[in-house]
Amino acid sequence: TEMVGSKEKRDKRLQQVSLLRTIPYSDHQRWWTSETVAVVTGANRGIGFEMVKQLAGHGLTVILTSRDENVGVEAAKVLQEGGFNVDFHRLDILDTSSIQDFCQWIKEKYGFIDVLINNAGVNYNVGTHNSVEYSHMVISTNYNGTKNIIKAMIPLMRQASPGARIVNVTSRLGRLKGRHSKLENEAVRAKLMDVDSLTEEIIDETVSEFLNQVEEGTWESGGWPHSFTDYSVSKMAVNAYTRVLAKELSERPEGEKIYANCFCPGWVKTAMTGYAGNISAEDGADTGVWLALLPDQAITGKFFAERREISF
């Protein structure tokens, strides 16, 4: 019954959120204009595409990026034909030269960005079949790739009073505690939960420890999550990194602020879940768009789902 109860609660919450989405932002809430630039990575389909569409619908200029040029151009064209202000540029977050090209292009064409939504990610586990053979790929894309694009974009983030925003798409599968947490490794949990002493190095070490155990074939006894293992670990790392990043960025002076948060879109019907999800891409995208546009900017270093803060 606990599952039924939580399913009912979530359905009810999703209905509320769908309603909230129909309420337009009032003039004093709109800190953005058509000159405000948002970048969404991995946005040729699914949640990423939907976030581009919703942000452009709110009147921002949105840059859709995708690893595959042709697919990305087509996706952007669909939105452009719908009257949305959407631009496209190829971006492979695993490739340093691709990141450099992208930054150079932004500099020349726009000069800066205001919002960065890190949606690009991979998952090779479909259904209950769990394999760790692609662990290196999953970690290097979902965690290292995300970190690399963030670091490259920060110098290009506009210094303005509303503050720039970074939003990381993560997952409840990466949670450290709570009844859905699949992490049994107490030492890792303790390290990642200790926000005051948490550093990027500690997160990197944790991820390396996992990958070493995968190489040695000892990961199963290592207390890592048993299902969606590599994906869960990659998202756990991004969640932790979001907190470290928010802490570093919070030391910036007024007028140069950058806020960083992460969110779980839920189990969405997209190619990544083999279309086995239970919520639409539109609902899945909502919290990311809401976080990117928050009128009350002082929110940073937090984790959200269905427009509500949840614990890490």
* Catalytic site positions: 231
**Cβ 159 vs Cβ 87: under 8 Å:** no
Strand partners, 164: 258
Two tokens, residue 35: 């000159």
Neighbours of 153 (CB within 10 A): 22
Two tokens, residue 295: 């009128």
Helix or strand run (H / E) with residue 118: strand 115-118
Measured distance CA(289)–CA(52) in Å, rounded: 9
Helix or strand run (H / E) with residue 208: helix 200-216
Backbone angles phi, psi at 66, to 5 degrees: -155, 150
**Cβ 153 vs Cβ 105: under 8 Å:** no
Measured distance CA(153)–CA(149) in Å, rounded: 6
Cβ-proximal residues to 148 (8 Å cutoff; 6+ apart), any chain: 93, 96, 99
Alpha helices in 24-82, H assignment, sequence order:
46-57, 69-81
Amino acid found at 139: I
Two tokens, residue 121: 């990610």
